[in-house]
Amino acid sequence: MERDSSKSDENEKEEEFSDISLRPLDLSDVDDFMVWATDDRVSRFCRWNTYTSKEDAVNYIKNTVIPHPWFKAICIKNRPIGAISVIPNSGEDSCRGEIGYLVASKYWGQGIATKAVKMVASTIFSEWPNLERLEALVDVENPGSQRVLEKAGFQKEGVLRKYCIQKGSTRDMVVLSLLSTDPKL
């Protein structure tokens, strides 16, 4: 799968989506990364636990972010205030990818996550021609994130009961999807 290494798409989208841009996250962004990574309110519905050391953050950026097939910082004036990623699958599962995102809590409630999801939805299907389904799993107790996806055109398909363990308990997760053939909002 191709890596988006050009910035031209983002410049175009910057006009359309005014304030935010997407770009790769690198080690020099670690302090901005720590702002959300150390925030319990952000980690609450994420699969990772709140970070307590900068070294852990550096290792995460080195080992997970930089080699990741599709991981971008969500930026305002080129400073990261969140992140968005798409995880591909292989073989008979390669038609689907899972989207995940977060925004530093200071920037909640301004439509930033929705903008970022729309930006990804508008390019990922042409970047990955095998992709037909973008899906997201959201904790049933995270309606804010469900709304982000619905505003971006995702359809709720159902609730998967006791689907996974997060923060020590089994969680019910809402599954939502956007197909390459769905209208982009």
Interacting residues toward another protein by CB under 8 A: 47, 92-96, 132-133, 135, 157-166, 170, 175, 177, 179
Measured from the CB atom, the residue of 110 and 180 that comes closer to another protein is 180
CA-only gyration radius of the chain, Å: 16
| In the complex, minimum distance from the CB of residue 89 to another protein, in angstroms, rounded to a whole number | 9
Three-state DSSP at 126 gives helix
Residue 41 or 47 with smaller CB distance to another protein: 47
Q: Residue 14 or residue 182: which is nearer to another protein going by CB?
A: 182
Question: Residues in the chain, how many?
Answer: 185
Nearest distance from C-beta of residue 58 to another protein, angstroms: 23
CB atoms under 10 Å from CB of 50, counted, come to 15
Secondary structure element (H or E) that encloses residue 76, with its range: strand 71-76
Distance of CA 51 to the CA centre of its chain: 18
Least separation in angstroms between residue 170's CB and another protein is 5
Q: How far is the CB of 75 from another protein (least distance, A)?
A: 29
- Cβ-based nearer residue to another protein, 27 or 164: 164
For 9, the 3-state DSSP assignment is helix
Copy the structure tokens of residue 136. Answer: 């997201």
